[in-house]
Amino acid sequence: MNRIITAFFTCMLYLGIQSNNAQVSSKQIDAIVQKAMDEFTVAGVAVAVVKDGKIVHQKGYGVKSIETGEKVDEHTNFGIASNSKAFTTTALAILVEEEKLRWTDKVIDHIPEFTMYNDYVRQNFNIQDLLTHRSGLGLGIGDLMFFPDGADFSIDDIVTSFQHFKPESAFRTKFDYDNLLYLVAGEVVKRVSGMPWEQFIKERIFDPLGMDNSYASLTYINDKSNVASPHLNEGKELSVTEPEQWDPKKINGAAGSIQSNVNDISNWMLVHLNHGKYGNNLEKQLFKEGSQKEMWKIHTTLNTNPNPRYNSHFAGYGLGWQLTDVKGNMMVSHTGGLIGMLSKTTLIPDLNLGIIVLTNTWMDGAGVFQSVSQSIVDRYLELDDFDWVGHYSERMRQRGGSAAKVVAEIWETVNAADDSNIDKNGYIGTYEDVWFGKIEIYEEGDQLMFRSFRSPKLKGPMYYYKANTFVVKWSDTSLVDADAFVMFGLDEEGKGQSIKMKGISPAIDFSYDFHDLDFNRVSDK
């Protein structure tokens, strides 16, 4: 559910694995992490580095929760969010090797009820199209079916929902990150293997690799004593928030529900750096090198990052991995983001190097995982020192400042608005969107309110803005930067007949895709 920081440029060609002479000590890594934690407000961090087939560093920093003060260690579990996607593509690769499906199989061969926005795309949509963000649909399409958590949509709702979405580009021509199609991929794993995605991940990946402390879902962890709590930061103030979690009986976790730790993910990075081999003498094989080449091949191109520091020439998305080149070395990476949980995995196969950074704070955790990852990469590339902490701090400050200014101006307009002539009764009623279902506009005392029937966290008071537009402020404080405009279409009598929505903050997470909703009145109550 990468959500927030979804794509950070990528690459991969597959050259062989080579070792370089650069070494980075645990003391140096400690200093890098400490500098980042001094600048960014985060509760806890965990970092591991693997090099030349060995774990050279794994350590926790800070606390699991500011309420308990308990320290993070290398076994502390974090939500790894969209870093889960590579586990899903690996699961499919295993099934391809077992000849239970092919990458080019049509999705409808395995899920006949699967829909798309037109019949040609439906008939030709294959397994790899589920994994490569090239469907033609827009960024984060349909994410409101499972963000925020607690909605009652099922996987059956999701696989048949795509007929209702309008494409924003031609099929297979443009990268637009999505989560829903990974959930469909998880359903393919279930139908082909005969076991739920969660069970397959555990039995076919976690267990063989000795990832004994990893879980396909937070709901499977009985003893949560070493699970990091998600935090929000507002300035230098931290607060604990509830973790995002989904019922695996309704929706699988193939897009981002895995809980893991840097000790276990070290094994995950090593199996990829070893071309699918694992064990004391690499005598076992999780997947073949050919499968890895397929996962680490660009399927959807992206613009390259012009940063001359790395002299990058290409970027793209493979199967659950972002791909790019840095100083002539291919780099494979992915980020992940849930509320209060942010992470990044980085592999440089040519250097036989892997780095994992896990954090439990939104949004400053992004500054930590980016600056720490890139600082360590630079040391192994033997580049001159660069102040990545300062770089990301300034970027986040500018982005946050400009977004905050926009939001403040909107609330200034709301506070100054005269709503004395507004007939609230004209807006009250039930409205329905074809894929999201019904919402209700109602009064609570003298306050106009919004609530979703299928996604109960989407509830809150509405405030008049201007013309036929209100702003809804969500009551759930975990919905950071997600408040939205509610824009009514009126009939000739001034009665609300339709609703469109969009987020008010430029910093809104793309999963809150309110702009894709199109509500029409179905009842006056």
199, two tokens: 């069970």
What stretches of 133-279 show up as alpha helix (H) in DSSP? 155-159, 180-193, 197-201, 207-209, 262-273
Residue 468: is it exposed, middle or buried by C-beta count within 10 angstroms (0-12/13-18/19+)?
Answer: middle
As to burial, measured by CB atoms within 10 angstroms (0-12 exposed, 13-18 middle, 19+ buried), residue 99 is: exposed
- Tell me what pLDDT residue 1 has: 44
Does the domain made of 3-386 have the CATH classification 3.40.50.300? Answer: no
Backbone region of residue 194 per phi and psi (left: phi > 0; alpha: psi in -120 to 50; beta: other values) = left
CA distance 213 to 233: 28
Separation between Cα atoms, residue 479 and residue 503, nearest integer Å: 11
Question: In a 3-state reduction of DSSP, which class is residue 176?
Answer: coil
C-alpha 450/C-alpha 170 separation (Å) is 35
User: Which residue, 128, 231, 238, is CA-closest to 185?
Assistant: 128
- The predicted pLDDT at position 20 comes to 59
Whether 317 contacts 296, CB under 8 Å: no
Residues of the chain with CATH 3.40.710.10: 3-386
User: For residue 15, what pLDDT is reported?
Assistant: 31
At 21 the pLDDT is 67
CATH 2.40.128.50 boundaries in the chain: 424-523
**Rounded to whole angstroms, what are the CA distances from 355 to 87, 253, 271, 333, 444?**
17, 23, 13, 9, 51
Tokens encoding 286 = 């999780």
> Each residue of 464-521: pLDDT tens digit?
999 999 999 999 999 999 999 999 999 999 999 999 999 999 999 999 999 999 999 9
- This prediction has a pTM of 0.95
Residues 224, 213: contact at Cβ < 8 Å? no
Contact predicate 5/366, CB 8 Å: yes
Domain covering 424-523, topology: Lipocalin (2.40.128)
User: How does pLDDT run across 397-455, given as a tens digit for each residue?
Assistant: 999 999 999 999 999 999 999 999 999 999 999 999 999 999 999 999 999 999 999 99
Query: What is the chain's Cα-based Rg?
Result: 23
Predicted pLDDT at 305: 78
What ranges make up the beta strands (E) of 403-508?
A: 429-433, 437-444, 447-452, 459-466, 469-472, 484-490, 496-503
* Amino acid (one-letter) located at 51: K
C-alpha separations of 436 from 51, 284, 442 in Å: 47, 46, 18
**pLDDT less than 70: residues of the chain:** 1-21
Residue with tokens 């469909």: 184
pLDDT confidence of residue 426: 97
